[in-house]
Chains A and B, each alone.
Chain A
Amino acid sequence: MRISTFFYTIKQGIINIFRNKWFSLASIATIGACLFLFGLFYAILTNFQHIVKTAEGGVAVTVFFDEGISQERIEEIGVLIDRRTEVSGKTFISADEAWESFKEEYLGEYADGFLENPLANSANFQIYMNDVSMQPALVTYLEGLEGIREVYRSEITASALTGMNALVAYVSVGIIAILFAVSIFLISNTVTIGISVRKEEITIMKYIGATDFFVRSPFVIEGMMIGVIGSLFPMVIIYVLYNQVIEYIMQRFTMLSSLLAFLPVESIFSTLLPVSIAMGVGIGFLGSITTVRKHLKV
């Protein structure tokens, strides 16, 4: 391809956007609406996953040791726990720390009646996990270790979080897939209307001896540019709205503020922005290339 032809094709693609400004606006609005909904669901999904993940991080498996276990063996068990991939961290709670915490939480001034630590055998490791669904495997492993008396776990919390996480993921992926299909359908329809106006132009081009590539290129460039513009609009709106919505939720539901750990907007956009632009370009590309193809049979 000549350089002049390359620039001519790009120029025609840009000119086409303005030449058919109502069609372009309709396409931009369609892509924009779909990607706005996509962005919305993506933000909700990632935040929900983040909240669940944070909640999961708080779910600990507690390991109590055999009576009279040596400090050396406790350290060995600590090393073995650290080697497990599902473990994100652990905290050692000595018997004294366990008693202090219990006193503070439940006994208050009544604790003065105890002369000795009644939780002398309560030294433990609190183990935090990367993935709560791996809890059963970790518990089985820990129960098999020498020197461990008991393993406490929160089965209900773990399975509930795992189930909820999976449910949210499935629902979101389903909704995003439906949105994607709907947007392709809408774009294809909008492009069909736009191209039917220019069917004459395509026919003339083909009669004169234009290759399919030459005919298709300006339409594809036009579609991709519409896709980029259509993806940027909703991103700007979501960017502006995101912090305001979070601020509103935190103010309105102060009781839940300790549970709700929202992601910063930058964290959401580091993925959402490139994915949305790529989707916009992809939708524009697919919508235009499939529709032009139907008109190339001249």
Chain B
Amino acid sequence: MTKGDVKSRRRKRQASGSDEIITLTNVSKAYATGAPALNGVDLHINKGEFVFIVGDSGSGKSTMIKLLLRELVPTSGDIQVMGYDLVRIRHRKIPKFRRNLGIVFQDFRLLKDRNVYENVAFAQRIVQVSNKEIKRNVPSILATVGLAGKYKAKPRQLSGGEQQRVAIARALVNRPAILLADEPTGNLDPKNSWEIMKLLEQINENGTTVLVVTHNREIVNAMQKRVVTMKKGVIVSDEEKGGYIDED
């Protein structure tokens, strides 16, 4: 895909406007030292899309996730997520904004001293859901990710795949509109990786917009989803049913 194709795709998406859930306009991010992590990035993601963001280390994928979480502020440009202006948002509004997002990490980031149920309930308590609702919601979401029988287990008693399922359950229990998954299969074997990706696809089919940052070539090529390829802080390719583009 040429740069011209990217531009025409952007125009097409801008025209459809109202369904856009994530909009990055000419976003650049430079750290105090080194080259810019992102350089004039434009990206438009519609409600209900499943998007892979791929690229090598240093391509700017992680910076983009941090910008979308409002962990970082861009050096220039605009970011709109679900109507929130992430450049101008007030600090006290950030928690409310983040409740629209679910986040899954490569290293699961579960609380090791708490069991599966408590790890998931933890997310509900943070957004001040009542105990009664927690008791209803947590078993239901654990059933969705296939861990209903393991609610008492501590993370160390689970396999990598199961731990990632718990992390997904925790990300989903507050019913976010967008699920951000940062290398969700990075620590998993191929079988578990596929199971996790199938679960993410199922979540997407239920209406959640899913963004997956990954290095996993086989999965990206097999799933035939939208693929945004980044290199040295710019988007070099954005294909509707794309594949993993090799560096060379």
Chain A interface (Cβ within 8 Å of chain B)?
Answer: 1-2, 4-5, 8, 19, 200-201, 203-212, 214, 298
Contact = CB atoms under 8 A, between A and B. Distances in A.
Nearest to B131: A4
Given A2-B128, A5-B125, A211 B95 contact: yes
B130 A214 contact: no
A210 B94 CA distance: 9
B123 interface: yes
B109 interface: yes
B111 A207 contact: no
Contacts of A212: 95
Interface of B: 69, 71, 92, 95-99, 101, 103, 109, 111, 113, 122-123, 125-128, 130-131, 170, 174
Contacts of A207: 69, 98, 101, 103
The residue in A4, A203, A212 that gathers the most chain B C-beta atoms within 10 A of its C-beta is: A4
A141 B210 CA distance: 91
The residue in A4, A206, A207, A214 that gathers the most chain B C-beta atoms within 10 A of its C-beta is: A207
B208 to A, nearest CB: 16
Contacts of B122: 204, 208
Nearest to A201: B111
13 contacts: A4-B128, A200-B111, A206-B95, A207-B69, A207-B98, A208-B98, A208-B122, A208-B174, A209-B126, A209-B127, A210-B126, A211-B92, A298-B71
A3 to B, nearest CB: 9
Contacts of B69: 207
A209 B113 contact: no
B126 A4 contact: no
Contacts of A214: 126, 128
CB-based closest 7 A-B pairs? A209-B99, A209-B98, A210-B126, A209-B95, A211-B95, A5-B128, A208-B126
A254 to B, nearest CB: 60
A8 B134 CA distance: 13
Nearest to B112: A200
A10 to B, nearest CB: 13
Nearest to B126: A210
Contacts of B126: 205, 208-210, 214
Contacts of B125: 5, 8
Contacts of B103: 207-208
Contacts of B99: 208-209
A204 B111 contact: yes
Nearest to A2: B128
A4 to B, nearest CB: 5
A2 B130 contact: yes
B130 A4 contact: yes
Contacts of B131: 4
Contacts of B95: 206, 209-212
A121 B35 CA distance: 102
